[in-house]
Amino acid sequence: MNQSAPAPPPAQNQTIRVGVPLVNLYATVLDKKNSIVPNLDQSNFKILEDKVEQKISFFSRESTLPLSIGLMMDTSGSEAGKIKVEQQAASEFFHRVLRPGDKAFVLAFDAGANLLSAWTSNIPTLDRAIQRTIVGIGYNDKVQPGQFVPGATHLYDVIYAACLKKMAPETGRKTLIILTDADDEGSEMGENDAIEAAQRSDTLVHFVLIGLVRGKSMDVARRIAGETGGREMYITQKFRLENAFAKFPMKCAPNIRSATIQPIANRTESTGT
C-alpha cells in the first residue's frame, strides 16, 4: 500500500521578511525672516515618536519630479466683487510657475464643487477654466449663478474630496492652492478630516486668504497649511493679491520643488529567524 511521503521539516534558520509600511514626512525649514533654508541633508533632521528617535530609512529632495497643482477658487457670496482680480492673478501664476511635465486642474466651490478643468498641462485651457468662475457656480440648479446664498462654503468637504479623488492617484510633488476667506459653512467633513485627507495623499495645502478673514478662519487656514507642509498668505490693502501671486513662486514653490524632503520613514522592514 502506497503512502504519501511525509512533508519535509521546515528549514532551519529560515528568514522571514515582514513588510512594514514606510511613513512619508515632508519638512520645510524657515529662517527668522520666514525664508526657506536650502541645502539641508539627512544629518540635519531627527524623527521622534513618543520621545524615541526613529531610523530615517530614505532621504531625498523632490526637485525634479513633475508638479501637480490643484487650484481651488472660493465662489461663495463672500467673494463677490473679487472674482475678476482673482482670475487675473491665478492665470498669471500658472504662466509663471508651470514647467514642461507639470499639470494642474481648476475647481470652483461654494455650496458644491464644479471642476472647470481636469488635469492638463495646457495653459490656455487653464486660463479659460479660470475665466469661467462666477459667484454661485457650485450651487444646485435652484440657485442662479451670481445669486448670494448665505451659509454655503463647504471648504472642508472640497479639500477632503480633492485630496482623495484628485491628488491621491498622482505621483510626484502635489499641492493645493486655495483662494478663500477660509470661512467654512455647511461641510459634512470636519477640519481634521481635511487635514488627514491631505496627509494621506501627500498633498501640501497653501491658502491665499482674501477679504475680511475672521480670527477663527485665520487659525483654520494656518493649522491646515501647517499640518500639511503648506503656507498661508493674507491679502490686505497693502499686500494685494497680484503681489501675493508674484511672491508665491519665489517663496512657496521652493517649498515644493527644492526644499521638500521626502520620504522619511519611522519604520523599516523587519527580519527574523
Task: Please report which confidence band the pLDDT of residue 112 belongs to, taking 50, 70 and 90 as the band edges.
Answer: confident
Return the minimum-mean-pLDDT range out of 5-9, 145-149, 204-208, 231-235.
145-149
Task: Please report which confidence band the pLDDT of residue 116 belongs to, taking 50, 70 and 90 as the band edges.
Answer: very high
Task: Please report which confidence band the pLDDT of residue 146 belongs to, taking 50, 70 and 90 as the band edges.
Answer: very low
Q: What is the pLDDT of residues 34-73, one digit of tens each?
A: 566 767 777 887 888 888 888 877 776 666 678 899 999 9
Task: Please report which confidence band the pLDDT of residue 267 belongs to, taking 50, 70 and 90 as the band edges.
Answer: very low
What mean pLDDT comes out for the span 228-240? 73
**Single-letter residue type at 23:** V
What mean pLDDT comes out for the span 72-87? 82
Confidence (pLDDT) at 54: 81
Task: Please report which confidence band the pLDDT of residue 125 belongs to, taking 50, 70 and 90 as the band edges.
Answer: very high
**In whole angstroms, how far apart are CA 159 and each of 83, 184, 228, 273?**
20, 11, 12, 45
C-alpha cell at 80: 463677490
Instruction: Using alpha carbons only, give the angle 124, 211, 183 rounded to the nearest 5 degrees.
Output: 95
pTM of the model: 0.71
The residue among 181 and 60 whose pLDDT is bigger is 181
Residue 112: helix, strand or coil by DSSP? coil
Q: Taking the domains of the chain in order of start, what are their residue ranges?
A: 13-61+258-273, 67-257
C-alpha cell at 166: 484628485
What's the whole-number average pLDDT of the chain?
A: 75
Q: Look at the alpha carbons of 116, 134, 83, 112 in this order and tell me if their dihedral is positive or negative.
A: negative
**95 neighbors 201 (Cβ within 8 angstroms):** no
Burial of 53 (0-12, 13-18, 19+ CB in 10 A): exposed
The residue among 51 and 164 whose pLDDT is bigger is 164
Q: Report d(CA 243, CA 239) in Å as an integer.
A: 6
**63 neighbors 258 (Cβ within 8 angstroms):** yes
Beta strands in the chain (DSSP E): 16-18, 47-49, 52-54, 67-74, 103-109, 113-120, 173-180, 204-209, 232-234, 270-272
Confidence (pLDDT) at 17: 55
The proportion of the chain whose per-residue pLDDT surpasses 90, expressed as a percent, equals 28
Contacts of 149 (CB under 8 A, 6+ apart): 76, 77, 110, 111, 136, 139, 143
Q: Which CATH architecture best describes the domain 67-257? A: 3-Layer(aba) Sandwich (3.40)
Q: Is the peptide bond before 263 cis (omega within 30 degrees of 0)?
A: yes
C-alpha cell at 53: 528617535
Confidence (pLDDT) at 36: 63
